[in-house]
Structure formats: C-alpha cells, structure tokens
Amino acid sequence: MSNNALTKRPEWLALENHFKEMEDVPLRALFADDPSRFDHFHLRLDGLLFDYSKHKINARTKALLCALARACDVEGWRARMLSGAAINTTENRAVLHMALRGSTPEGLEVDGENVTDFVQDTLALIKTTSERVRADKSITDVVNIGIGGSDLGPRMMCRALIASADGPNIHFISNIDGDALSLLLGKLNPHSTVFLIASKTFNTLETLTNTAAARDWLLAALGPDKVYDHFLTMTANPEAALKFGIAPANILLLRNWIGGRYSLWGATGLALAIACGFEVFNDMLKGAAVADRHFIQSPLEENIPVLMALIGIWYRNFWKYDALAILPYAQSLEILPSYIQQLDMESNGKGAGKNGETLDYQTGPVVFGETGSNAQHAFMQLLHQSRQVIPAEFIAIAGAHHGMKAHHMALFGNALAQSKALMDGLENTSEPCKNFPGNRPSSTLILDQLDAYHLGMLLALYEHKIAVQGAIWNINSFDQWGVELGKSIADALIKDFDNDTRNTCTDSSTAGLAQYFREKFIKS
C-alpha cells in the first residue's frame, strides 16, 4: 500500500457513506429495533465475555469493517507474522512474542536458531531460577529495575495477582528520579535483597543509572566479592551484562524478535514467577495461548481482537473520536490502564506509513484510564457530560477473589451502571446542568476470575487488537523511534552540564533552562 491508498479504497469509501447513515442513529434506537441485540453482539471465550452491543454499529457496519480488514490483508499479515517474516520493517526483525506462548509453528527458525528450542530453554531457566530464589529463605526482597515494557508488564501482573503472591517481597524501580530508589533502599537489607535488571539492550539510561546505584549500595555493605551474586538480568545483550559483572548463570536471554513491551511472556516475566511461583507464570502463558488460537483461527466476524480493532478504527477515523478510556473495575488492576496505554500509544502513535509516506488519517488514540469506582469520582464527569465523546472499555470480574460479597456486588453494579448511563443518558429540560446526552459507546469485557490464566488471555487480546489496527493503518506497530530522539538529546545535555551546554542548546529556551539548572545545582 502506498501513498495513502487506504483512504482511497472502495471499502473505506463505503464506510464513509455508511457513517452518514449511522451518524444520527442513537444507541437507544439500536436496542429498540433489536431487543435481542446483546445476543447478536457479544462473544465468549473460555471464561471471558466480550460485549460490543453498546457501540454505534449494526450488522452492516460490522460487514463493512470486516471487508476493510480483508482488503488490507489482515489475514495475510497475520500469517506472515506467524511465519517469522520481518514485519518489523524499520528494524528488519521478526515479531514472534506469540512463540513465547507456544503459538507459532514448531521448527520455525530465525537467524539460524530454532525458536521453539529457545522458548523451551527460556521457560526451563525461568522455572529453575525462580524456584532457586524462592527456596533461598535468606532472600526477603527482590527489586525489578527496568522501564517501559521491562517494568509495566511484570509490575502490573505482580500487582494484579498480589493475593496469590507467596514468594519474597517484589519491588519495582523504573523512574530515573533518585528519590524512588533511595527511599526503597532505605527500607531494605542488602544481605537479603536481589536485583533483577530488565533491559533488552542493557544500555537504557534509566535502568543502568539505577543499577549502578544499586551496585554501589551493595558494595558498601557486602564488598566486591559477593555483590554480583545479588544480580540477575533479562537481556538480549549478554555481552554487556557480562562486562557489568553479572555471572553467566544469572543471565536470562531475550531475542530481537521479542519487543520490549511484549517481553513479559519471556524472561522479563521472572519477577512474576518469583512472586507467585512458576505455575502461575505458566498459567498466564496458557491463557494467552487460548487468545492466540482464537485470533489465529476465528473468522474475522467472530474474532474478538479483530472486532475490538475495527470498532476502534470506526471511531478514530470515521467518528473522529480522539481518545479511549480503559476502566478496570478491580483495584488490583490499577496498573492495567498504564500497561495498555504503553502497548497502544507506543505501538500505534505513528504519523508515517511503512513506505515512509505522511499519513492523511489519524492512527492511535490517546489512551488513559483508572480503576472503577475511583474513575467515577475523577474524569467520568467529562465522559458523561462534555461535548467530547470518548469511547470506553469496561473490564470487570464476575467472581470475587475475596470474601467481601457486598463490596463485589457494589463494584460490579457500578461497572454496569456506568456503561448504561453513558449509553442512555438522561434528559432533564428543567435543569440543563443535570442533562446527560448519552449515546456514548462502550465495550464490556468480563473475566470469570481474576487469575493469571484469564489475565493472560485479556492481555493477548489487547496485543492482537492493537497490532491489527496497525496492519490496517499500514504502520509499523513494533518500533518506537519516538522514544529515541529525546533520549539522544538528554544524553548530550547530561554530558555537558558540568561544562558548557551551548553546544547542545541551540535554542534560547533550552539554553536558559540548562543555565538555570547549572546555577542552582551544578555550581551550588
């Protein structure tokens, strides 16, 4: 596809015409026309329910969106991804995180290496390493140092499954702000603390700065002989890890075909295996594999992540909705909105197509969220009554993992009430401030249980949704060059702070701010 051919496709033009037919049709009318609408617009998958009936679509919308997906060769793109083709075109890399869940063909090779063999070896090492750490009762605390996908994935899963954690205390450090690490280290004992260094490249500024500080802290207490017994690392750059001093037995490998934001399924999931046990980690993989099979085998019209993707495109490109709210109604899923935010915005926040052309259509939305019912006392006001329409995705749990029945009924009731209120609204002509326009679309995903299996399934569905959108938008969802520019400028500024920043500050604003910092901090 070249030169913005997407918006010239007959399938795209058909959707533009169909949008004009649907623009003034309220959601309430769709339900009035079809009392069994829920039956026709929901899908189930092994303990997960996806309700998409509260969307501004009908059967024709769905058919037209699926026709667009076929015209953009989503099925062929999916096959190429599974085959190990280098669909990450800017970095010439395969995209095979599904292999970590056993969902790619056996015998597949990348760069002369059998992918299945690598995955099995990695799983075995995660198992033995996590069991070794868990069995060592002298270890009371484990600190995962990483950022981005090396932090959010394991942090989110460890927080979500905290009720089943029975290993050492797990902590996470990501920000380069030294206060976070300093405050944490002040509570820990260096003799009983192990650090997990999660860095695919082993050269990320934030991670290496925090790692160096952790090493200094250990050195002061343990001396040089025992320091490196307290480090494990997950990386695709073992040479750099060895140079740092980490023992070969303490290095778990990643590969270039595992993107950082997908590395939870491999070695970066070590923190979860240590916190909750290898079987819990493996249950997460099993759940994701079920979602993979569904994505690979189900027709587009009955494919949950494909429909999630197409509904998102319908809103982003035809209704011109700019944002998406992620609303998990489970406090232990408090990090899930940030996880999905990174997964989506880092993947699809692109303005250039695969052929280098400037796109004439929008891609990824602004993704934000919060747990319910906290969100109801924060930004939900805007979702209900502002002129801006923001589609929402509610995530709820049918079965409570605690004994507080009244709490769980109230929580689930609030989730249903919010989606219904967004859809129905409330007309109040006597008091306009209490008028709710309604007609605000949402999906609802319900998990039977809040456990590793169902969370693995949920995360894999979101991965596939976002990747399908990228395939239709003809962008590379698997690079993140937008992360790099600021990092390179920061590197130059940091090197110059002690001397003179004029070489890197070519504008008066940055120069003035840098000079202020030098006066207040460097020279003080």
Domain ranges, ordered by start, for the chain: 5-71+314-479, 97-282, 483-522
Torsions phi, psi of 120, nearest 5? -65, -40
Predicted confidence (pLDDT) per residue in 188-207, tens digit = 999 999 999 999 999 999 99
Query: What is the spatial distance between Cα 119 and Cα 130, in angstroms, rounded to a whole number?
Result: 16
3-state secondary structure of 41: coil
Lowest mean pLDDT among 58-67, 421-430, 465-474: 421-430
**21 belongs to the catalytic site:** no
Please report which confidence band the pLDDT of residue 1 belongs to, taking 50, 70 and 90 as the band edges. very low
Whether 5-71+314-479 shares its CATH topology with 97-282 is answered yes
Q: Which of 191, 407, 434, 487 is catalytic?
A: 487
Q: How confident is the model at residue 3 (pLDDT cuts 50, 70, 90)?
A: low
Q: Give the 3-state secondary structure of residue 126.
A: helix
Of these residues, 377, 402, 434, 495, which one is catalytic?
377
- pTM summary value: 0.96
Mean pLDDT over each residue of the chain, to the nearest integer:
95
Q: Which CATH architecture has domain 97-282?
A: 3-Layer(aba) Sandwich (3.40)
pLDDT of residue 500: 66
* For range 202-216, the mean pLDDT: 96
How many angstroms separate the CA atoms of 338 and 367, rounded? Answer: 8
Q: How would DSSP label each residue in 304-372?
A: HHHHHHHHHHIIIIIS---EEEEEEE-GGGTTHHHHHHHHHHHHH--SB-TTSPBPSS--SPEEEE--T
Please give the DSSP secondary-structure letter assigned to residue 441.
Answer: -
Which tens digits make up the pLDDT trace of 302-348?
Answer: 999 999 999 999 999 999 999 999 999 999 999 999 999 999 999 99
- State yes or no: is 377 an active-site residue: yes
Nearest to 147 by CA among 241, 88, 240, 210: 210
Catalytic residue selected from 346, 370, 393, 463: 346
Give Cβ neighbours of residue 104 (< 8 Å, ≥ 6 apart): 82, 84, 96, 98, 115, 116
- The whole-number average pLDDT for the span 238-246 is 96
Q: What is the CATH number of domain 5-71+314-479?
A: 3.40.50.10490
The C-alpha angle 97, 135, 199, rounded to 5 degrees, equals 35
Catalytic (active site) residue 137: no
